Structure 1
Amino acid sequence: MLYNTLRQYEYLIAVAELGSLTEAARHLNVSQPSLSVAITRIEERLGRPVFVRRKGAPVEITPYGHGLLAKVQALLAQARDIENPPDTAPPFVVGCFEDIAPLYLAEALGALRCALPGETFRGVEARFSDLAADLRQGRIDVAISYDVGFEGRFARRVLKEVLPVAFLSPDHPLARKASLELGELAAHPLIFFSEELSEGFMNRLFQAMRLSATVGHRVKSLEMMRSLAAHGAGVGISYSCPPSSLCYDGRPLVTVPISTPQAATEIALIWSGLREEGARFRQVVATLEGAFA
């Protein structure tokens, strides 16, 4: 429970700035005895003295009081911002699913800066669950992502449809094929992402096609998937497809498209269905849609 009010904290700042209970009382339009009693009660609740008050001498601030007053100043500044928001709009934050961020986020931010030169934009990379939580709690404004894990009150616009690819070592028996079906991959050890939502999505896809996936490795990053595949540890399956034919350690890697129609999924622009959608927001959405057209 909070015992001291913002008004009482304003009393502390006034006394500290004016150095006198009498002057502070006049400034605050309260009686000097009332202010003195209020300060005493605040100090009692805090359990430590903020000021040293001696009759006929200026008020002095204790070492503890200096630290406290700095925190009080910051608290009051935040309270003023809540009641009187600054004229400048906060940065518009675009989130992007981590694996596709290198492919899409920089281009999206560039398009926004060209279309709305007076605005400030910032990009954030995150996994599915973090993007959903950040959208709900207002830490990001929109997200570019596969539509995985966004249950509840979310709005979305489809930006593009994509099919997955398979990452294989050059000597893998399937590496010379122009395209692959999921059924061909089921017989081989697979490399999945370890994130629960991502692996769950792939397992449901295999189950829907009456296939059984044998997971040889679970990884946290796209490059780890590519590296394991290049070293012959299994077949990586991903909807993100970097253009390089080499993994991080320089070993060659083969990327083969998966043509199974049921495996197609969407990259969408997603935002909270509870947020306000003003002219600025609608222009951002239109610009991002255009960037993917």
Structure 2
Amino acid sequence: MRNETLKISGQRFNMLVAGEAGKPMMLFLHGFPEYSGAFEELMPHLAQDFLCVAPDQRGFGASWKPQDIKDYVLPALLSDATAVISHYSPDAPAVVVGHDWGSAVAYGLAFRNPDLVSHLIIANGVHPGPFQRAMAAGGAQSVASQYIADLRREGKEHDLVANDHAAIFDIFNKHMDMGWMTPARRAAYRAAWGNVEGVRAMLNWYRASPLKLADPGSPIPPEELPDLPTDALRVRMPHLLIWGMNDTALLPESYEGLQEYCDTLTIEEVADADHWILHQRPADVADRIHRFLAQH
């Protein structure tokens, strides 16, 4: 694996790359609070067959970190991802893999730039339609998502950098298996997060999102929710959802009804993994991806 620098709209973005140029591209989009290193264990299992590219998305890792919330609206995030695909695979669509917040960008590509996406693969990430329903219902997912309101709070970045980023590591833990978090990886995450400005940039993903979160037990009326028309949120390419069932941040109800939005959907539920399935089960995830692509 190697790191490469790509200029997008004049700004510097870091890429983690594995595999040979000329092979089909696989784009990996990480979430919060990670960076391209989210895929360090997974990519070697796929690099023999694909050119694997994992950018540090804007606001993360060694990439550009604008401080304004407006720089993290979905069209801006999509422009970065489309530039990466256009650079590494100018003549063919990519297989797109998203996790956590990276799934928002992956789904956005599928909705708005379907010509750039041959297959959509999501690991413990959510489609905005079912997820908004679940977050607005006031039930279990609303309870599990209350951390979002806290992360959107102005000044929260100061809390998260205190005591060597202790509170961000608490977000990782959240009653999930952290056996993969070695001292070396812990140091790499701290380096990627950096100072207050770096953490503010990451939190701006939450602040820029139009999705609404209900208080527990107090559903949000449908007329107060963002307009999310099914036709505009359709996944027309083959779609695989891999789900670690022990996830405590994103519950299975967050993808209930996903089939309503998809032409071809495969869901694989993994009993002995959680939100950090990419770190816990990289070989297993790679096998599932290979089988899915062979069938579609």
Q: Computing the radius of gyration over CA atoms, which structure comes out larger, 1 or 2?
A: 1
Fold match (TM-score > 0.5): no
